[in-house]
Amino acid sequence: MDMPVPDAAILARKGRIVARLRALLPADAVIDDAAEVRVYECDALSAYRCPPMAAVLPRTTAEVSAVLRVCWEEGVPVVPRGSGTSLAGGALPTADCVILGVARMNAVLEADYQNRFVRVQSGRTNLSVTGAVEAEGFFYAPDPSSQLACAIAGNIAMNSGGAHCLKYGVTTNNLLGVTLVQMDGTVLEIGGPWADAGGLDVLGVVCGSEGQLGVVTEATLRILPKPEGARPVLIGFASNEVAGACVADIIKAGVLPVAIEFMDRMLIRVCEDFAQAGYPDCEALLIIEVEGSDAEIDEQLALITAIAARHDPVAVIEAEDEAQARRIWLGRKSAFSAIGKISDYMCLDGTIPVSSLPHVLRRIGEMSVEFGLAVGNVFHAGDGNMHPLILYDANKPGDLETCERFGAEVLKLCVEVGGCLTGEHGVGIEKRDLMGVQFAPEDIEAQLRVKDVFDPKWLLNPAKVFPLAVTSDRRAA
């Protein structure tokens, strides 16, 4: 994966730049030792690595503003970093950049249960947002599989979703406002807890912008009352295509479960070994959860199982109690780490119309044979957010390159059937060179002009999202 050639002039000024940063922050908040910065050389797309020139770990919006102002004056690229869980290389450094990590910015600043919002610093982890409000009977809906570790900053950058976002929406549907620091240090307050702001939807532009427009230091998030109850059901099928057809029929029938998750045989096996969830032995498995009162749950599950019956399921298993329900979700949310125990893999993130699930699953199986690499499927089936896991051997010459070509063809297929390149992982560097598959040149130019407004020097995460050939003149200006 190509990255820009480091700027020798910036590297030559490293001593001065680091000294200016040390004058702004506590001694332990600036890291420039060659061994210590290796901690930040990659994110969860670990096939690509490059140690940064330095890393800074501010604790306040004021410190972030001061750091960005120095980097703006010095012409130093800045790569924002939450928890480093990006699967698209969104936080991959360059050798001449400063990593700006928000992990130490993790406080709850305000919780308003009457108006149903919480304001947090952006380094707070996703799951701990719910942890902060659950004693009052509330929760934060977006729940990526990495929610134990991923930061709200990264969730906003990539517009993260999760298993339960079929009903509750992704980050943008639950984000009310942000504090954004621009590259020159200007602090902007965008949105807020009370109502939709008038004028341009700047908050909608910031959410999903992958650290290209500014650094989010605080976020106001919508919180919701916990449902009265919830119950998952496991429905097994004889093939991936049949399971995909069942999902399409459930959505077509107007039934709205809180989650519909898909796992194929490979993932069923490794996740069952990990969580002992009681998954059935089958080719494809749907985890469908509904919520409400006991009567509502029973009615919804009756409708869903009736639809599934038309597809000849090989197993239908309702969770017997809360403990089994927790094991079912533990297995699903552990899928990425569980598959990592048996192989190197690359996780994709295309999104497709639900009606195209059977066709796309069949083609992925055919591509697996064509490229000679195994693939496991686990994804948010209810909203068509695909996560094929392509297995390869990092120690075998050529395997990574074959994996990349395979992945590119899968993502092209997603666009071909009316979907898009990403649902929640972002473009980063992984899909950067595929942007022309989804967008015409004039569409990309319109996006570049938005970045021009927020970051005219092109210093924030400048090597991400857009093909390098398209942005070379802007980055060199």
DSSP 37-67: GGGGS--S-TTS----SEEE---SHHHHHHH
Distance, CA of 129 to CA of 136 (rounded, Å): 12
249 with 329, same domain? yes
145 with 236, same domain? no
Is the residue at 450 inside a domain? no
Domain that holds residue 303: 230-336
- State the average pLDDT over residues 63-87: 97
Is the residue at 464 inside a domain? no
Please report which confidence band the pLDDT of residue 361 belongs to, taking 50, 70 and 90 as the band edges. Answer: very high
Is the residue at 57 inside a domain? yes
121 with 215, same domain? yes
The answer to whether the beta carbons of residues 140 and 223 sit under 8 Å apart is yes
Residue where a domain terminates, one of 103, 119, 134: 103
Residue where a domain terminates, one of 311, 336, 361: 336
Q: Which of 228, 248, 224 is nearest to 237 (CA)?
A: 248
351 with 320, same domain? no
Residue where a domain terminates, one of 55, 85, 103: 103
- Whether 477 shows a pLDDT value over 80: the answer reads no
- Whether 198 shows a pLDDT value over 90: the answer reads no
Strands (E), 182-333: 187-191, 215-222, 224-225, 230-237, 259-264, 284-291, 315-318
For residue range 106-151, list pLDDT tens digits in order.
999 999 999 999 999 999 999 999 999 999 999 999 999 899 999 9
Q: Which of 458, 353, 360 is nearest to 71 (CA)?
A: 458
134 with 79, same domain? no
User: How many domains, in total, are found in the chain?
Assistant: 4
- Whether 195 shows a pLDDT value over 70: the answer reads no
For residue range 317-331, list pLDDT tens digits in order.
999 899 999 999 999
- State the average pLDDT over residues 420-436: 95
pLDDT of residue 290: 95
pLDDT of residue 452: 97
133 with 174, same domain? yes
Distance, CA of 415 to CA of 422 (rounded, Å): 10
